């Protein structure tokens, strides 16, 4: 598979603090990548540099062979890289239907939020796109519910549906199962990953839940102290002794690998 995203020597410093250092990797098209690490390990810094929320101190980022290093977030989104946040970025006073329609309108006008607010939301193409996303994420039963009243899992689905407006080729998800109950998390993640696979979207997701990572990532990037300490399939990365010690806890060698195989067996 050809690389859709390439990072070379990426580094971010804040004064004397090095938040990311010497990150070099390629992301093939349509790959699903889980990003793991303790708090402060550099995961969010990495995501923020890719999506334009932070300007790298050194290094380069290529998207579809185009240098996007240091471009503002809005420009990067327009090129085809989108993201969601750990806390869902929705309009709480609007209904689900209105949230999706507003996201479509903003993406289609390519203008400021103020200009989008005075642009009709119900054009035929915009309505068709909104309906497609509502169907894809099974939000139809909630279309008239205000976002503030939604269960956490549904709110996450709405947030990711809105991030998928405009059909980005790469989507970065920050803690997609954060705040979701144990009973809901696999069903929600299954729906998310199925929807993204149907769109042929390359996805990188930051996640603390190793069961989710084991089941839904084809590849794992493990971060510690601002750098990647392991990069490989879940069976390899999660069983790495350094990863087990610094990220997964102090499980005996082989335990994590067994959990991965069990989770992947459940999924297949």
Enumerate the H helices of the chain as residue ranges: 43-50, 73-79, 96-109, 113-117, 124-136, 152-163, 182-198, 210-216, 234-237, 241-243, 255-267
The rounded distance, in Å, linking the Cα atoms of 162 and 129 is 11
pLDDT in tens, 91-104: 888 899 888 888 88
The tokens of 187 are what?
Answer: 């069903």
Reported as a pLDDT band with limits 50, 70 and 90, residue 262 is: very low
**Tokens 């970065």 label which residue?**
172
Considering its fold, how many domains does the chain have in total?
A: 1
Measured between alpha carbons, how far is 72 from 81 in angstroms, rounded to an integer? 12
Instruction: Report the pLDDT value the prediction gives residue 123, as an integer from 0 to 100.
Output: 63
How do beta strands 219-224 and 3-14 pair? unpaired
Closest to 170 (Cα-Cα) out of 99, 36, 45, 78: 78
List the domain range (segments joined by +) for residue 120.
3-267
Q: What are phi and psi of 88, to 5 degrees?
A: -55, 130
Q: What is the pLDDT of residue 118?
A: 40
Strand-pairing partners, residue 83, are: 172
- Model confidence band, residue 226 (pLDDT cutoffs 50, 70, 90): very high
pTM: 0.85
Sequence-separated (6 or more) residues with CB below 8 Å from residue 70: 52, 55, 56
CA distance 17 to 225: 11
Mean per-residue pLDDT over the chain, rounded: 86
| Mean pLDDT, range 121-146, rounded to an integer | 84
Residues 152-198 have pLDDT tens digits of: 889 999 999 999 988 999 999 999 988 888 888 999 999 999 999 99
CATH number, domain containing residue 158? 3.40.50.300
Report how far residue 268's alpha carbon sits from residue 258's, in angstroms, rounded to the nearest whole number: 15
Tokens of 28: 């093939």
**Buried b / exposed e along 4-41 (16+ C-beta atoms within 10 A):** bbbbeebbbeeeeebbbbebebebeebbbbbbbbeeeb
Cα of first residue to Cα of last residue in the chain, in angstroms, is: 22
Q: Given a cut of 80, is residue 27 above it in pLDDT?
A: yes
Q: What is the pLDDT of residues 186-219, one digit of tens each?
A: 999 999 999 999 999 999 999 999 999 999 999 9
**Per-residue pLDDT averaged across 97-115, rounded?**
70
């Amino acid at each position: 598979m050809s690389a859709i995203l390439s990072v070379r020597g990426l580094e971010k410093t804040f004064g004397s603090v090095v938040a990311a250092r010497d990150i070099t990797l390629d992301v093939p098209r349509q790959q699903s990548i889980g990003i793991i690490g303790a708090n402060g390990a550099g995961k969010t810094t990495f995501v923020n540099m890719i999506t334009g929320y932070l300007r790298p101190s050194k290094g380069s980022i290529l998207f579809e062979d185009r240098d996007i290093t240091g471009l503002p977030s809005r420009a990067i989104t327009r090129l085809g890289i989108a993201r969601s946040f750990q806390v869902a970025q929705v309009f709480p006073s609007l209904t689900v239907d209105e949230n999706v329609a507003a996201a479509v309108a903003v993406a289609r006008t390519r203008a400021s939020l103020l200009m989008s607010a005075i642009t009709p939301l119900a054009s035929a193409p915009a309505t068709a796109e909104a309906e497609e996303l509502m169907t894809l994420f099974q939000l139809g039963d909630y279309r008239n519910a205000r976002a503030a009243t939604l269960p956490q899992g549904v709110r996450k689905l709405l947030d990711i549906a809105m991030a998928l407006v405009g059909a980005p080729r790469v989507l970065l998800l920050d803690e997609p199962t954060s705040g979701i109950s144990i009973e809901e998390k696999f069903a929600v993640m299954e729906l998310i990953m199925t929807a993204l696979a149907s769109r042929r979207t390359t996805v990188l997701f930051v996640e603390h839940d190793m069961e989710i990572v084991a089941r839904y990532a084809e590849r794992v990037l493990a971060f510690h102290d601002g750098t990647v300490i392991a990069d490989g399939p879940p069976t390899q990365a999660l069983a790495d002794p350094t990863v087990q010690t610094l990220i997964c806890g102090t499980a005996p060698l082989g335990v994590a690998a067994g959990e991965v195989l069990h989770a992947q067996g459940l999924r297949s």
